[in-house]
Structure 1
Amino acid sequence: MSSHQPSGAARMFGDFAPQLVHFTDHVLFGDVWERPGLTARDRSLITVASLVTSGSTDQLRHHLGRAKDNGTSEAELIEAITHLAFYTGWPRAMSATAVAKYLFHR
């Protein structure tokens, strides 16, 4: 993370839960996301799938944008959500699609 620009986690929770921000910025997005075993694109697809299946639409907002930044197209993300509908359930897929539509067409 840049020392000049606070992370999203720091802006949201820095004063309230500084240790959670530390783990988010340095362990999750530092150590875990930077491991060499998967590409950032693959990690994004896995993360989006996990968030869709768990119904975590608040975090999905951030990770859909990150997935696009990591080289995943909007069409691929919509296809992943559609595919997941049969494994995670229709309501979660519909909620994820609503988030994607809002983000991709605003």
Structure 2
Amino acid sequence: MSTKPIPQSAQRDRVRKTVPALVEYTEGVVYGDLWERTDLSKRDRSLVTVAALVATYRPEQLSVHIGRALDNGVTREEIAGLITHLAFYAGWPAAMSGAQVATEVFEKREG
């Protein structure tokens, strides 16, 4: 397991008392191991993760991962292009919901 610091999450901290094992797996396996693998860059992992969350309509997780994608070097234009591309593969409603989440994340970062 990686010794790198795990990104903080208010959402994760909120549910820790209810589902402590799930949070442990998230921190130990997902962020501790999976995100630290070297077969994909963190930037590429972010693109894949954002695409999966848009395509499967997971807006509650999407805002965190769009922010992480920006931190990992994905541009706003690339996120917009990803969402537009997915409209044709994952459906218009999923893409429009993803666009709403992306807009919120971008606006929070501007303010």
Q: TM-score by structure 1 length? A: 0.91
DSSP-derived class of the 1:91 partner: helix
Unaligned runs of 5+ in 1: none
State the aligned residue count. 104
Change (3 A) 1:80 1:10: closer
Unaligned runs of 5+ in 2: none
| Structure 1 residue 102, shift from structure 2 partner | 1.2
State the match for 2:23 in structure 1: 21
**Aligned-partner residue type, residue 79 of structure 2:** L
State the match for 2:48 in structure 1: 46
1:77 aligns with one of 76, 79, 99: 79
Q: Distance in 2 between matches of 1:47 and 1:12?
A: 22
Q: Distance in 2 between matches of 1:14 and 1:75?
A: 34
CA contact (8 A) 1:7 1:25 kept: no
Q: Distance in 2 between matches of 1:7 and 1:17?
A: 17
Q: Distance in 1 between matches of 2:106 and 2:68?
A: 12
CA contact (8 A) 1:10 1:18 kept: no
Q: TM-score by structure 2 length? A: 0.87
**Aligned-partner residue type, residue 92 of structure 1:** A
| Structure 1 residue 87, shift from structure 2 partner | 0.1
Q: Distance in 1 between matches of 2:90 and 2:70?
A: 22
| Structure 1 residue 2, shift from structure 2 partner | 4.5
DSSP-derived class of the 1:71 partner: coil
Indicate yes or no: 2:86 matched with 1:96: no
**Identity value in percent:** 46
State the match for 1:7 in structure 2: 8
